[in-house]
Structure 1
Amino acid sequence: MPRQRNVVPTYGRHIATQQATCTVRLPNGQRKVLYLGRYNSAASKAEYSRIVSIVATNGGVYPTKENNLTVNEGLVLFGQFIDGYYVDANGKPTRTVENLKLALGYLRRLFGPSLLIEFGPPQIKTIRSVLINERRVRTQINKFIGQIRQFFRWCVEEEHIPPSILEALRAVRPLMPGRGGAKEGTPRQPADPAAVDRAIPLMPPAVRAIVQLLRLTGARPSEILCMRPCDLDRSKEVWIFSLAHHKGSWQLKTRTIHFGPDAQAVLSPWLLGTPADQYVFSPKRSEEIRSRERSDARVTPLWPSHSARNDRKRRSTRRRPPSDRYTAANLATAVRRACRRADVEVFTPYQLRYLRAVELRERYGLEVVRAVLGHCAASMSDHYSKAADGILASRAASEVG
């Protein structure tokens, strides 16, 4: 005698997204996986109970209709798309994937079990209200709402929902300054030159060199951190660093950074002994240099038992070996610690880019700022160097006013 079919869906977990799931049988005999929300949450269990009652009422079958894709199901499909679409040259997901998933997390938590075709302006305003109550800044809220619209635009492209839903969402206006109850963010300002000068001597040698290069070139931290000797053209008086992969690579833009005499003096010691295809600034290499310097400065004799003990300590205490390159987070942490040791206002590595933009605009003008920082539009260069307006206006007033 065949085993009796179990018509009650089982509460399960989707490992990749950590969502609760249950598989139901449709009227046409096929099966469908429903996503219920965060696994083991009260909301997912309540949705599971609702589905079980529906299945029990309909004789073990889950009734369906056209365009019955839920928000959770759409987000799973969209997640598979962005994981393969927003990738870097090495095939790894970019920061865009992380940012999209952060914004879409609100959509999943608030409206995960709802049908996509039921989503409209009231729902997106609800998400916006939650973001306002969390005290997020206005520009970030507008960005999150735009990323949620991006998800629905993809759903229209894949014919999961009719275009009228996207048009309705576009009718929701963005938050304007001073309206809507959202707080305003603090614009990023250039780093204080005095604070930079006082903090630099207290930084580790590699971090000190990176910060000095950022200060001299106005480059992005990620650009200096990925530098290799093979990417440098040192055949001319001014060295040229051509980036193979950078922020604008996906738009087929080129990016070059020029190193003058001061930058060359900072960079030259770090190029000695560095293989052409390895990163110039490497935590692994910096650790080796630091250990060698400590060993050379040792006063007491180094006996074999001491070496054996040190080897055991290194193997037992270090959980992660040093990586081949610094990350932006590593650099920011080291800079922050140096600022606190110097008792100065903390600045971020990216603020050095703003500082260089202001100095270049004061001396050479906006077009030079655009060329050095690698901007395509002068409006972006104006944004970075806006702090120079007051100095330039005062200079003009003193000369011709």
Structure 2
Amino acid sequence: MPNYTSPKMRRQRRAHGKDLAYVTLSGKRHYLGTHGTEEAKVLFDATVAQWLSNGRKNPTPPPDITVSELIAMWIRENAAFLKKSSSARCAIKTPNSVMIALYGSTLANEMTPLKMKAVRQVLLSKKFARITINKQIAYLARVFALGVENQCVDPSVHNALKCIKPLERNKTTAHEYNRIRPVPIKDVEATLPFLNKTLADMVQVQLLTGMRPGEVCGLKRAYFNCDGDVWTATLPTHKNSWRGLERVVYFGPEAQQILKPYFLRRKSNEYLFSPGDAFEGDPDRKLGACYTTQSYGRAIYRACLRADVLQWYPNRLRHTAGTECCKKYDLEAAGIMLGHHDPRATRVYAEPDNEKAIRIARAMG
């Protein structure tokens, strides 16, 4: 009877960052993540158990699949979500194109951390913010996780990619995000005359309700309950719908007056704000059923240039609404209007009341 030795978890030391755990089975090294973690122990047990059940042999390698095919698989798996979210489609466009350009024909099982870092270097050269690049690399790692789930990629490939250390603040050439600030009301008012009627109404509805750009773009009559003096709209999809949270938007008298003409023109399942309203005399022009966050933002960008005001984007309107509500009422009221379930999130949107701080300083001397 052969004299077998029990597999042992080993430690690979790293000069910078956390040490890696691995186990060698039948001459092949299997990475298990960060050494000393519970996750590494669980993965060690699972890897060894699979090896033992296979007669002390490593599992048969998954079928060959290229990186391009793997990305296409991820897009197919998430088609329903991507169809609803133009921002999600935009977020994955560049990392997908860079990955395919560099390693599209490479077998997914041949992907290594060094190759992924080469992808990151190209993203760095495109002047993305540090946080954006970290999100892009994390997304690409999730693509390989899907391959593992469907037994198209060896688990050790994904585990190795997860060991890539994110870019850290002040330790990279990537710039930091500037904090999003409220847009001054005077700049909004100066921009409105240079927007078409539909876009100007969208801006004003955002200011009155604190909606996200994507939420105002996707409004439909079917979402509304118009009973009572305050209307409500329950959004079926929104930023936090994956958490099982409900998003209800409240519309007071001013917002209702803006929306009423659109209610008369739209069927229940139609988008309230359509780019077709601005081009009714041009039937040959191909337009979408609704504005996207990108087309909405571009229109405001052009209007700012024509109005000769400092550039602002529609996501800043939500910060303006939150700040104004907090000044007039309190932080809790602002959180309710913005649809937050955690007051810490509201503090990101509602700027500190500097005027109150000045009054306190005067009083205290």
Indicate the residue corresponding to 1:388 in structure 2: 352
Indicate the residue corresponding to 2:315 in structure 1: 350
| Residue number among 153, 171, 182 corresponding to 1:179 in the alignment | 171
Letter in 2 for 1:233: N
Indicate the residue corresponding to 2:145 in structure 1: 153
Q: Is residue 252 of structure 2 the alignment partner of residue 265 of structure 1?
A: no
Letter in 2 for 1:356: A
Q: In the TM superposition, what is the alpha-carbon distance from 1:171 to its structure 2 partner? A: 2.4
Q: In the TM superposition, what is the alpha-carbon distance from 1:183 to its structure 2 partner? A: 2.3
Q: In the TM superposition, what is the alpha-carbon distance from 1:68 to its structure 2 partner? A: 7.1
Q: In the TM superposition, what is the alpha-carbon distance from 1:324 to its structure 2 partner? A: 3.8
Check whether the contact 2:249–2:337 (CA below 8 A) recurs between aligned residues.
yes
Indicate the residue corresponding to 2:337 in structure 1: 372
Q: Is residue 296 of structure 2 the alignment partner of residue 331 of structure 1?
A: yes
Q: In the TM superposition, what is the alpha-carbon distance from 1:287 to its structure 2 partner? A: 4.2
Q: In the TM superposition, what is the alpha-carbon distance from 1:356 to its structure 2 partner? A: 0.9
Of 228-237 and 347-356, more deviation after overlay is shown by 228-237
Indicate the residue corresponding to 2:199 in structure 1: 207
CA distances 1:179-238 after superposition (whole Å, capped 9, x unpaired): 022222333222121111112233222222111111111101222233233332221111
Q: Is residue 346 of structure 2 the alignment partner of residue 397 of structure 1?
A: no
The whole-number CA distance in structure 2 between the counterparts of 1:331 and 1:108 is 29
The whole-number CA distance in structure 2 between the counterparts of 1:123 and 1:271 is 53
The whole-number CA distance in structure 1 between the counterparts of 2:169 and 2:307 is 37
Indicate the residue corresponding to 1:132 in structure 2: 124
Check whether the contact 2:198–2:277 (CA below 8 A) recurs between aligned residues.
no
Q: Is residue 78 of structure 2 the alignment partner of residue 85 of structure 1?
A: yes
The whole-number CA distance in structure 1 between the counterparts of 2:298 and 2:212 is 16
Q: Is residue 61 of structure 2 the alignment partner of residue 67 of structure 1?
A: yes
Distance verdict in 2 for CA 1:272–1:83, change over 3 Å? same
Q: Is residue 220 of structure 2 the alignment partner of residue 228 of structure 1?
A: yes
Letter in 2 for 1:349: P
Distance verdict in 2 for CA 1:324–1:136, change over 3 Å? closer
Q: In the TM superposition, what is the alpha-carbon distance from 1:372 to its structure 2 partner? A: 1.1
Check whether the contact 1:68–1:116 (CA below 8 A) recurs between aligned residues.
no
CA distances 1:323-356 after superposition (whole Å, capped 9, x unpaired): 4433333322332333222221121122111111
Indicate the residue corresponding to 1:111 in structure 2: 103
The whole-number CA distance in structure 1 between the counterparts of 2:146 and 2:163 is 17
Check whether the contact 1:362–1:391 (CA below 8 A) recurs between aligned residues.
no
Q: Is residue 136 of structure 2 the alignment partner of residue 144 of structure 1?
A: yes
The whole-number CA distance in structure 1 between the counterparts of 2:277 and 2:93 is 35
The whole-number CA distance in structure 1 between the counterparts of 2:324 and 2:171 is 35
Indicate the residue corresponding to 1:280 in structure 2: 272
Check whether the contact 2:67–2:106 (CA below 8 A) recurs between aligned residues.
no
Q: In the TM superposition, what is the alpha-carbon distance from 1:272 to its structure 2 partner? A: 3.4
Of 322-331 and 130-139, more deviation after overlay is shown by 322-331
Q: In the TM superposition, what is the alpha-carbon distance from 1:174 to its structure 2 partner? A: 1.0
The whole-number CA distance in structure 2 between the counterparts of 1:227 and 1:112 is 38
Q: TM-score, normalised by structure 2?
A: 0.73
Q: CA RMSD in A?
A: 2.9
| Residue number among 188, 207, 211 corresponding to 1:219 in the alignment | 211
| Residue number among 238, 249, 258 corresponding to 1:246 in the alignment | 238
